[in-house]
Amino acid sequence: MRRTFINHLTELAKENKNIFLLVGDVGYNVVEKFENHFPDRFLNVGVAEQNMTSIAAGLASEGYHVFTYSIANFPTFRCAEQIRNDVDYHNLPVTVVSVGGGVGYGSLGYSHHAIQDYGLIRMMPNFKIASPGDLNEVIGVLNYLTSNPQPSYLRLGINNENKYTVNKKNIVPGKWYPLPSNKGREDVVLSTGTSLKWVMNNIERFKNKDIFTLPLWGIGEKKKQRAISRKFSSIITVEDHLYDCGFGSWLKESLNISGTNRSIQSLALPIEATNMVSSEENILKKMKIYN
């Protein structure tokens, strides 16, 4: 996902002179393509993520669409105040890019687990969450974000180099996208982000269900979910995040359909995942259902 992101951002920046990339002393052997093409629109700020976010806000106030790039929690939780006050409050076109969403860096432990980041970002009123499930969706969400500059969060996997979805160049916020193998079933799985890889690796578990992805969402897309959900009898959401304040709880808040016969369950990481130091695959085996 990282290379697809950098490659496509570089191509977009050839036409869009306002794209600027800031990195927090990471991304070696990945970000150099952008740096070599646009040395005047690239800056390594060092291990200073809070400063990086404020610099991004300053550049954005002068007309740039700025991408800040770092690992997992560092451009999010470490910069929560700057995201809230400098970027979101002023509604500036800054895209916070987190690499290793979920437990992509699981072997490095809790400091690198990005399993509460949805909760932080989805409380920001102006932010759009872009959580692609495969390489096609990385390109699609980047096309949207650069065509609609705004406060946004792009959550990338570290090892997800697959293509499960159809190639969709234009992704609409709040829209559910079916996988090509869907058969029009009423029982569905709704995934966001890199958890799609886990779904596909456990496809037998979902063999009687259709699978959808939701790569662009946030506060502004809640109202759209009611009309979409009415098409289905049961929904299971899937995320590589804690259940509380995550994607599944966001959908349940959006629908608020108590008293109907529609079943909504959420597959998410348990709190015990915070204490796990292991591979992404091993940690995701701990996913459990929340009603």
Choose between 168 and 286: higher pLDDT: 286
The CA distance from 186 to 261, in Å, is 13
Amino acid at 72: A
Closest CA to 196 of 173, 170, 164: 164
Q: What value does the mean pLDDT take over residues 208-218?
A: 96
In this predicted structure, what is the pLDDT of residue 27?
83
- What SS3 state is found at 206? helix
pTM: 0.95
User: Nearest to residue 95, comparing CAs of 152, 38, 158?
Assistant: 152
Rounded alpha-carbon distances, angstroms, from residue 231 to 173, 183, 213, 234, 261 = 18, 14, 15, 9, 13
Q: Which of 69-78, 88-97, 248-257 has the lowest mean pLDDT?
A: 248-257
CATH 3.40.50.920 region(s) of the chain?
177-290
Q: Write out pLDDT tens, residues 135-181.
A: 999 999 999 999 999 999 999 998 778 899 988 778 999 999 999 99
Whether the predicted pLDDT of 239 surpasses 60: yes
Closest CA to 9 of 38, 45, 34: 34
Q: Which residues neighbour 33 within 8 Å (Cβ) at sequence distance 6 or greater?
A: 6, 7, 10
List where CATH 3.40.50.970 sits in the chain: 2-156
In this structure, which CATH number among 3.40.50.300, 3.40.50.920, 3.40.50.2300, 3.90.1640.20 belongs to the domain 177-290? 3.40.50.920
Are residues 55 and 22 in contact, defined by beta-carbon separation less than 8 angstroms?
yes
- Average pLDDT over the chain, rounded to an integer: 94
- Compute the distance between CA of residue 203 and CA of residue 200 in angstroms, rounded to an integer: 5
Per-residue pLDDT tens for 45-68? 999 999 999 999 999 999 999 999
CATH of domain 2-156: 3.40.50.970
Beta-strand (E) ranges in the chain?
Answer: 19-23, 42-44, 65-71, 94-99, 128-130, 152-156, 177-178, 187-191, 210-213, 216-217, 234-242, 263-269, 288-290
State how far the Cα of 234 lies from the Cα of 62, in Å rounded to an integer: 47
Residues in contact with 259: Cβ distance below 8 Å, sequence separation at least 6, in sequence order:
none
What are the structure tokens assigned to 182, written together? Answer: 């869907």
Torsion sign (Cα): 270, 272, 274, 279: negative
Q: Is 81 exposed, middle or buried (0-12, 13-18, 19+ CB in 10 A)?
A: exposed
Residue 275 has pLDDT above 60, yes or no: yes
For residues 289 and 274, give the distance between their C-alpha atoms in angstroms, rounded to a whole number: 17
